[in-house]
Structure 1
Amino acid sequence: MYSPPPDPDTELRVRARHARAAEALDVRVESGGEFWGWAGSTLGAPARTTTGEAVWLRLASTPEDKAVGRRSGCADPFGALDGRRPALLGVHDAFDDGTAYQAELSVRVDEPVLSGDPALQHGLRLPDSWWNDLAGTLAKVTAVDKDCVAVRQQYMEWAIPEFVGIPAPVVSHWTAAHADVRWANLTDPLRLLDWEAWGRAPEGFDAAMLYAYSLHQPDMPPV
């Protein structure tokens, strides 16, 4: 979890859009327990429906040109993944001043996330069954045949030399991926949260991301 964005105008804009999404989806946001994404890119908060059902409302924002290119015609293909994904109850899209907003309303997960930080900063013992559940869930994700994009070869050709100092490999096999598998998006029992980034990525991308977020804890097993 990140702090609210340092720019007060960004914070006010995102909060206002989150409130509009709550109104559009007919839920009441509860105080406390909100989660911010990096630089205000997302805002999630607990809410309740008119019938009292506990839900979670998460708003993601991105430049409109990138959102259209990535999400046009991309229906959600995953479902509940045997209960490993919180059931999606509704989606609300809005566009304003060059920014695209997508709010997802889902069933609220009672279990706390395994880390408040995306990277694991403390020791963590998980049973073999948890790792088996994670591997099985990610395998089902990769089996989905969709053209939506999470990671592009062009991005890799910029990011890998910029941050790692080596040439980017040419990817020969692409599969569907959650594309944001980090410890702040995982619970025990297993629930995999925050699905708005899913799309095609290099094979093994999800496992590699979680491994990178585990490097501070070298005793963690690979996925």
Structure 2
Amino acid sequence: NFNISVSDDKYPSVDSIVRSAVAECNSKTDGSEYAKALWLHDWLLEQLEYDKTLKWSSAESALTRELGTCQSYESAYAKLLTAAGIENSETRDTYDGHTWNAMKLDGQWYQTDCTWDDSSDNWYSFDQRHLYFGLTDELMAIAHPGHSKIYTTDTYATRSTSLADNYFVRTGDAAKWAKAYSDRIQKNLDAGKTEF
């Protein structure tokens, strides 16, 4: 292993990219942990694209190449959160081969999966990019079933049970989603479907 140092503004370092993003975040939010975590989440999704070749898997590749796997999303978001003064930890689901962030906002732990939030889906005219922001362990285990084997152990350190800083709870959009999905579920039930 070796490192190459480049002193050229066209090739900013990871640290300078992180500092710049956090400075912009601080100037554009009210400074609350929730606002900073959400702004940095959205900023990262604007920068990054999932690397389908699976070559790039670090914060460095995420922030300089703007490509990466789930490990890139997790580690880049961790660097951003840490620089913004937000306690965070990696959640590694070895059962499902995936990783995401746990973050502590207002004294409570929340699960956030930037990789799965990086979507251009637009069901029911709702932005899909916040579905996995501020979840409980129980909700995250619905998307990542292996997580249920992790968060139920005695040694699990980032137990997430609150939805107070969940995106849809904070914005009030939870009711819109519930209505949209209740109609969808009812249509499937009315059609006699038992799986959908």
Bin for the TM-score computed over the shorter chain? under 0.3
Q: Which one scores higher on RCO, CA 8 angstroms, separation ≥ 6? A: 1
Whichever structure has more strand as a proportion of its residues is: 1
